[in-house]
Structure 1
Amino acid sequence: MKSILLTTSTLPRFQGDPEPRFVLDLAFALSRYYRVTILAPSDALAALSEKIGEVEIVRYRYAPLRRWETLAYPGAILPRLKKKPWLWPLVPLLCVGLHVALSKLLKSRQFDLVHCHWFVPQGAVQAWGFFHTRAPPFIVTSHGGDLNTLKGRFIKRALQYIMGRAAAVTVVSRQLQKRVAKAGYNSRVIPMGVDARRFCVTTPVSLAPGDKTILFVGRLAEKKGVNILIEAMARPELRHLGCRLLVVGDGPDKGDLMNLADSLSVASSVNFLGAIGHEDLPEVYSKAHIFCAPSIVAKDGDMDGLPTVILEASAAGKPCVSTRVGGISDFIENDVNGCLVEPGDSGALAHSLARLLDDDEFYHQLSSEARKRAAQYDWPIIARRFSALYEQYFNPPPGFSQDSS
């Protein structure tokens, strides 16, 4: 059985942790075919090594004290650096820690391929690394936060260097594929997936007046556009229906969003539930009628790739109202398996939400199609697509090198 090493800076730290788990879920799906190890940054709340199912997890130290290892969690590295610039001194420490851990793993074990999630820091350290042994081929995947926000001539050249060293580049959306093409390289679109069975809810939803619930799940940050959704809740179309909004998640914008709901006199209809563990999300989806992902392009250019919460909601049969941002339109076809509006348009958002809540036939039509579309993103299907890519780079021919790939 071949051995795969996945490197990432985002991974749940403990059971019930609300941190994104798509890399872990991918590892579970791949473990049917390979021995899978995940390498991720340490955190005071996480075990340095553990095995979950057939997947081994190794977390590397990068600061003298574990309580100082706060660069990667909670949230993602780049957003944390923007909000907390005093964390910048940890960046070189994390890169050194990652390089040391990689060197030890590659020297002590035989890996057939390394799969780096995000260009920075995982792809960069892999590309620039000086390892004591011949490194296996590596693949790098962009989820959007790296390619969309990292700018400047030096950064562009650095990303091109990583792409040139990588055996292959994958992205989660066609929008990101275009960005890679502009840099002069090819890439494959392979999105993240969803555990369709886990989120499938068979209990029929009542659309009785006075019991209409809109759900948002995600980090409360600028690119998520939750402020637009709260503004939509204040518009007559939704006020008339007497619906409520459940906001699941935490983040830097939570205080501002709560103040906005209060200033628009919709605080009684908007419930902030905080972060909820992945184990409890299926139940949360079951209590909603519609899912809304009002994504926008942030001021720094950051935007969603293809949010896995959209896949989860669709698998649960919840029609999704979202925006034409990033890779969302790769999954949602307007008025077929969901609704799409222009980003930042609270009026159009309110109209689409009200239409779904008010039109029972339209609602059930989209609900059925949402389930069908989500089934195409089931993790076993996504894992087979990655496996087909991996197989091209196992046992490379004589003369293969990352410099010539």
Structure 2
Amino acid sequence: MVIVDKKIKPDILIVAEGTYPYVKGGVSSWIHSLISGLTEFNFGVLFLGSVEEEYGEIKYKLPDNLTYLSANFIFSDKEKPPPRILNTDPEKIEKVKELHKWFRKMGEKELPEKWQQQKFYIKEVTEEEFLYSREAWNFIADSYFDLAGDVPFIDYFWTVRNIHDPVWRVASVMNNMPETQIIHSPSTGYAGFLSAMARREKGIPFILTEHGIYTRERKIDIVNADWIADRGFFFQKEVGEIDYLKKMWISFFKGIGAFCYDSADIIISLFEDARKLQISLGAPEEKTKVIPNGVKVKNFLNARKKRPATIPPVIGLIGRVVPIKDIKTFIKAMRIVIDRMPEAEGWIVGPTDEDPDYYEECLKLTTAMNLNDKIKFLGFQDLKTIFPRIGLTTLTSISEGMPLVVLESFAAGVPCVTTNVGSCKQLIYGGLNEEDIEIGKAGEVCHVANPGELAENYIKILRDKKLWKTYQKAGIERVEKFYDYEMFLNNYRNIYRSFINGRNSI
């Protein structure tokens, strides 16, 4: 579904999986700031979502240099061919069987050329043949008895269908993809798969920027998911063993990640530890590069000036109310804080509609801990009005890339307490170089899922004005010196120009 088409060929096409422009914050904010800041380029956005009903209205004022936007829903039943029983050439399904085996082996070898190209999914084996042919049914049934006989067949059947069918959908999206000089994906996954196919088939330079490491984040999601049936008997499993159906999903995303790394011209991470992790997952080291995020420090100067003389006893968790942000650990930490600082409050600032079930669980936990008058779910807010009213910013996430909210907090003069995920330790303690380390700490970093440790640090900082001021000063100095928005823009400007001018150099 084309939303914007100004009939101007975009210089850069961003493939956004589940983010911009339908979701606020995080990667979406990064995409919006990139497009808005690099006005000398025309951009297109190809949005990939699950089903249309999960997304509302566009959440951003679209920049003038966004010349193309389409929304594509790769899990939607509306896009499927109508069901019918059919027969097809068994050799076609043998190729699907080989593809399934490649994903199952987690992409340990390069994806064979026939599966790198759109025509395989559009012409050689159609989505209809994969979904409805007797031969496809036999392939799934045979592989079930060979590989997964201890799980219910219906669960195995739908897992195989749901893993593979979106690949056909992604391939079909390429039919209407606009011409572009560069394709840029902020993740591997389905967005990266489409970008990698475009690189292989159309020769379009492919830039990959990973904010978090997609395969690792999907593994966390999948291991903790209750939407994948886990019916194995307890005595059949070793402690910590992952259900076979979950292993299938994990292997699938690892395989896609390997294909993306093989295909990308540049593989960008936000901090050094992430670059090392990419290399450990198969990214060729010579392709990798670190480009930190940046924020418009000047936009937060007024918020800094509006800070009161006293430290507000308010801890603000700024992020989406979703499991990966581990809001429940924050709620538990606040119970400890309130017992010792009755005047304190916890504000949860971020969208609550992405995972309604999890939001409801958080509300129930808040009630169960008798915190309804102390924890506020504020939804999405203008952070420039929030920062002067809080004493600390916190993240209790179990996974992050380089969270912009930490940099924005520093720019607004607010210290941070986070879990030890992503680049948080580098941002709070310094780590880019010796000069950065010498600036000192701008807050504290805690273990994941440790409400006691978080609470101790919240209390320690809020009660010690001298310490708070020291952390504030370090945060301001660090963001102004190393994470300014213009530095971030210039890094991408130079990369885009390199490919547009044909130098193809990182």
Question: TM-score with structure 1 length normalisation?
Answer: 0.78
Structure 1 distance, partners of 2:13, 2:325, is 31
- CA separation of 1:377 and 1:293: change in aligned 2, threshold 3 A: same
Residue 170 (structure 2) pairs with residue 95 (structure 1): yes
Query: Quick check: 1:11–1:23 contact (8 Å CA) kept in 2?
Result: yes
Q: CA deviation at 1:198?
A: 2.0
> Which structure 2 residues correspond to residues 3-402 of structure 1 after superposition, within 5 A?
3-9=11-17, 10-13=19-22, 20-31=28-39, 33-41=40-48, 45-46=56-57, 52-62=63-73, 88=162, 91-92=166-167, 94-96=169-171, 98-102=173-177, 105-106=178-179, 111-129=180-198, 134-144=202-212, 146-150=214-218, 152-153=250-251, 155-184=253-282, 185-186=284-285, 187-200=288-301, 201-206=303-308, 208=310, 211-235=312-336, 239-240=340-341, 242-249=343-350, 250=352, 251=355, 252-273=357-378, 275-277=379-381, 280-296=382-398, 303-333=399-429, 336-375=441-480, 376-396=482-502
The one-letter code of the counterpart of 2:423 is G
Task: Tell me if structure 2 keeps the 8 A contact 1:62–1:96.
Answer: no
CA deviation profile, 1:143-175 (whole Å, cap 9, x unmatched)? 225131346555434322221211110112333
Indicate conservation of the 8 Å contact 1:51/1:57, yes or no: no
Shift of 1:34: 2.5
The aligned amino acid for 2:205 is P
**Superposed displacement of residue 395, structure 1:** 3.9
In 2, Cα distance between the equivalents of 1:160 and 1:41? 20
C-alpha deviations, 1:91-122, integer Å up to 9, x for none?
347514532232xx12xxxx332211111222
3-state SS of paired residue (2:441): coil
- Give the whole-Å Cα distance in 2 for the aligned partners of 1:67 and 1:377: 44
The answer to whether the 8 Å contact 1:227/1:260 transfers is: yes
Does the 8 Å contact 2:338/2:344 carry over to 1?
no
Q: How far has the Cα of 1:292 moved from its partner?
A: 0.9
Q: Report the CA distance shift for 1:68/1:281 in structure 2 as closer, same or farther (over 3 A).
A: farther
Indicate the RMSD between aligned Cα atoms, in angstroms: 3.4
Q: 1:368 to 1:55 in 2, by over 3 A?
A: farther
How far apart are residue 272 of structure 1 and its match?
A: 1.4
Q: Which residue of 1 aligns with 2:119?
A: none
Distance 1:96 1:21 in 2: 27
The 1:288/1:65 distance shift into structure 2, 3 A limit, reads same
Cα distance, 1:5 vs. partner? 2.2
Q: In the aligned structure 2, how far is the partner of 1:372 from the partner of 1:310?
A: 13
The whole-number CA distance in structure 2 between the counterparts of 1:93 and 1:147 is 20
| Higher Cα radius of gyration | 2
The CA deviation at 1:39 is 2.6
Q: Could you tell me how far 1:64 is from its partner in structure 2?
A: 11
For the structure 1 residues 320 and 97, does the alpha-carbon distance in structure 2 shift closer, same or farther, using more than 3 Å as the test?
farther
Contact in 2 for aligned 1:41/1:60 (Cα 8 Å): yes
Q: Give the fraction of aligned pairs with identical amino acids, expressed as a percent.
A: 20
How far apart in 2 are the matches of 1:167 and 1:190? 15
Give the Å deviation of 1:259: 1.8
Task: Name the CA shift for 1:39/1:193 in 2 (closer, same or farther; >3 Å).
Answer: farther
Do 2:348 and 2:377's aligned partners in 1 also have CA atoms closer than 8 Å? Answer: yes
- Residue-pair matches, total: 362
1:25 and 1:155 mapped to 2: Cα distance?
A: 28
The superposition leaves residues 199-224 of structure 1 with CA deviations (integer Å, 9 ceiling, x where unpaired) of 33133533658x51111111112221
Residue 51 of structure 1, CA deviation: 5.2
Residues 122 and 374 (structure 1 numbering): CA distance in 2 closer, same or farther, change over 3 Å? same
3-state SS of 2:341 partner: helix
Aligned to 2:235: none
Secondary structure at the counterpart of residue 266 of structure 1: coil
Retained in 2: the 8 A contact 1:35–1:54? yes
Q: Secondary structure at the match of 1:267?
A: coil
Deviation at 1:131, TM superposition (A): 8.4
- Counterpart of 2:396, as a letter, is P
Cα 1:67–1:369 change in 2 (3 A) is: farther
Instruction: Specify the code of the residue in structure 2 equivalent to 1:40.
Output: F
Identify if the C-alpha distance between structure 1 residues 91 and 46 changes in structure 2 by more than 3 Å, giving closer, same or farther. Answer: farther
2:437 alignment partner in structure 1: none
Q: Which structure has more helix as a fraction of its residues?
A: 2
SS at match of 2:183: strand
User: 1:124, CA displacement in angstroms?
Assistant: 0.8
CA drift at 1:333: 0.8
Q: Distance in 1 between matches of 2:322 and 2:10?
A: 39
Q: CA deviation at 1:355?
A: 1.4
After superposition, what is the alpha-carbon deviation per residue over 1:216-252, rounded to whole angstroms, capped at 9, x for unaligned?
1111122212222221212257633521111122144
Moved more, 90-99 or 215-224: 90-99
Q: Evaluate the alpha carbon distance shift between residue 230 and residue 53 of structure 1 in structure 2; reply closer, same or farther with a 3 A threshold.
A: same
